[in-house]
């Protein structure tokens, strides 16, 4: 078998080049990552060594994917790069713990297991760890195996049945099953594993070519302002920002639409009380004869001893200029929108915005026949948030974001890949409006039907449809997750039982 160094290199290359990046992407390469973690566990001399090697492999691989976390630290706070790099390394270390646990489990539970049992066990183990990764410590489900295939929508259709975590688990299980079959030189299991992988992709392709069963008859316009992050919160540029969005939106007067969307914090001030700018935007909505969904900070009477609570908000201004309803971001970004504990550069990271409070309203924003499940920024990476929006009646998903923080890195593409999974999981159209890109419309099959160019001020026109039906995954969301966790517990229990039996 391969030694540690080659396995470390292969696992890193698999996750980094299988996921979206700025060099070259080939999604199937991502299967190398769980296969290498499995081999690291098998070859370890002890459980501690398996854990350490898995931790190192996970930290290095995720660092290669998440290097872009250093960009806002270095460019927005003038922090030296040698310090800024601690951001992605620290996050990757935490994510690497899940990889370490997987390698440890492979050492403890699967060293002498038959290939088929390896496949079944790793499905439940990987799935449970993915669920934990998306939940614990605020959750960060970035760079999953399923997301790597988002660029090939024909091969992500299983997420409408299993969800992203379940599909990632299935991909990991097949990768480990194939590896175990090759190690044991089992022709029978090698053929079975490869046929299973081929059947999975074939069935996904067949599902992909079926009609989406939703007419894209609602015209929308998504305004991409392309405002530089360094100038965004500077009051001297505020009027220019408003003028740019208004000027771009006037294209709607010649191309009538049913909805206009401005991205996250596109208006970098408290729009709700702006005597100067709110009337301008109301007049624009009236002239456009269309409602506007606008990202902006908002505030309300304070709680917990605070004078005011500040929110990352999306306001709806209807075609008559009335500010009808809003949505406040529920899942905030640690160190980006709130600070869990004191760090010296926190105020620079939160320049111009203050520390946000999480919202409490979850219901869709409704106008006409639209019930929009709004997701602000990286909320679109969390399966359970989108599940909740659809459960509450959303027939269209809307993601507004500002990825300008990360410049020309892999982050915007990786963010889009996870957003694609949410559309397929719930069988909904998803409109994604961003400040600098990637602005896009995604259909219920994960196809990008409309896509704007990044780092260009523009208006992206397109069409969406509404759907009220539910996918298999939506209907059995809780049961699927419970079964994955129960399966992992069963694998652990069976291992304990067999070990005790051997001792007797």
CB-CB contact of 156 with 446 (8 Å): yes
- Residue partners of 376: CB distance under 8 A and separation at least 6: 264, 295, 312, 314, 327, 329, 399, 400, 401
Query: What is the rounded distance in angstroms from the CA atom of residue 333 to the CA atom of residue 312?
Result: 11
Alpha carbon separation from 386 to 352, 422, 465 (Å, rounded): 29, 7, 17
DSSP characters for 239-305? Answer: HHHHHHHHHHHGGGGTS--SEEE--TTSS-S-GGG-TTTHHHHHHHHHHHTS-EEEEEEEEEE--TT
C-alpha dist (Å) from residue 333 to 73, 127, 148, 356, 402: 14, 24, 23, 10, 13
Report how far apart the first and last C-alpha atoms of the chain are (Å, whole number).
32
The residues, ordered by sequence, that sit 6+ positions from 219 with a Cβ below 8 Å of its Cβ are 256, 257, 258, 259, 461, 462, 463
Q: Is 377 among the catalytic positions?
A: yes
Label the pairing between strands 308-317 and 292-301.
Answer: antiparallel
Helix 32-43 × helix 159-183 angle, to 10°: 40
Q: For the residues of 50-85, what is the DSSP string, one character each?
A: HHHHHHHHHHHHHHHHSGGGHHHHHHHH---HHHHT
Residue 289 designated active-site: no
Contact between 225 and 435 (Cβ < 8 Å): yes
Residue 361, C-beta contacts closer than 8 angstroms, at least 6 positions apart: 326, 327, 328
Query: Using an 8 Å Cβ cutoff, are 30 and 18 in contact?
Result: yes
Q: Is 347 a catalytic residue?
A: no
* Catalytic residue of the set 264, 337, 379, 425: 264
Q: Which of 106, 176, 232, 329 is catalytic?
A: 329
Catalytic residues: 264, 329, 377
């Amino acid at each position: 078998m391969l030694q540690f160094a080659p396995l470390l290199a292969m696992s890193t290359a698999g996750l980094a080049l299988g996921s979206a990046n700025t060099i070259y992407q080939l999604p199937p390469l991502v299967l190398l990552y769980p296969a290498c973690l499995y081999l690291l566990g098998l070859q370890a001399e002890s459980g501690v060594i398996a854990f350490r090697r898995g931790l190192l492999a996970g930290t290095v691989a995720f660092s290669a994917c998440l290097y872009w976390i250093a960009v806002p630290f270095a460019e927005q706070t003038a922090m030296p790069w040698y310090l800024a790099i601690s951001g992605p390394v620290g996050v990757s270390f935490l994510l690497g713990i899940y990889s370490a646990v997987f390698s440890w489990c492979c050492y403890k539970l699967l060293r002498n297991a038959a290939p088929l049992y390896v496949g079944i066990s790793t499905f439940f183990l990987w799935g449970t760890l993915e669920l934990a990764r998306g939940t614990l410590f605020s959750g960060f489900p970035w760079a999953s195996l399923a997301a790597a295939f988002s660029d090939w929508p024909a091969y992500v259709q299983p997420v409408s049945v299993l969800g992203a975590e379940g599909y990632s688990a299935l991909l990991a299980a097949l990768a480990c099953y194939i590896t175990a079959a090759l190690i044991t030189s089992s022709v029978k299991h090698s053929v079975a594993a490869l046929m299973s992988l081929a059947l999975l992709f074939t069935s996904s392709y067949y599902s992909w070519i079926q009609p989406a069963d939703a007419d894209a008859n609602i015209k929308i316009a998504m305004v991409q302002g392309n405002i530089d992050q360094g100038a965004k919160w500077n009051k001297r540029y505020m009027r220019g920002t408003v003028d740019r969005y208004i000027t771009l939106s006037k294209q709607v007067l010649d191309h009538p639409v049913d909805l206009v969307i401005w991205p996250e914090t596109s208006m970098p001030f408290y729009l709700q009380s702006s005597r100067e700018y709110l009337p301008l935007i109301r007049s624009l909505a009236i002239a456009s004869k269309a409602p506007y969904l606008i990202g902006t900070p908002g505030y309300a009477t304070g709680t917990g001893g605070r004078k005011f609570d500040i929110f990352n908000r999306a306001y709806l201004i209807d075609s008559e200029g009335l500010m009808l309803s809003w949505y406040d971001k529920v899942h905030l970004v640690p160190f980006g929108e709130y600070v869990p504990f004191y760090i010296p550069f926190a105020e620079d990271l939160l320049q111009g915005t203050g520390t946000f409070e999480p919202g409490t309203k979850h219901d869709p924003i409704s106008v006409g026949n639209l019930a929009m499940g709004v997701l602000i920024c990286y909320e679109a990476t969390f399966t359970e948030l989108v599940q909740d929006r659809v459960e509450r009646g959303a027939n269209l998903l809307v993601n507004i974001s500002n990825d300008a923080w990360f410049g020309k890195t892999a982050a915007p593409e990786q963010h889009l890949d996870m957003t694609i999974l949410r559309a397929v999981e719930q069988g909904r159209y998803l409109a994604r409006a961003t400040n600098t890109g990637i602005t896009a419309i995604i259909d219920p099959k994960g196809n990008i039907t409309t896509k704007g160019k990044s780092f260009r001020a523009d208006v992206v026109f397109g069409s969406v449809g509404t759907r009220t039906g539910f996918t298999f995954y939506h209907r059995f969301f809780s049961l699927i997750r419970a079964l994955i966790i129960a399966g992992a517990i069963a694998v652990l229990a069976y291992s304990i039982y067999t070990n005790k039996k051997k001792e007797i």
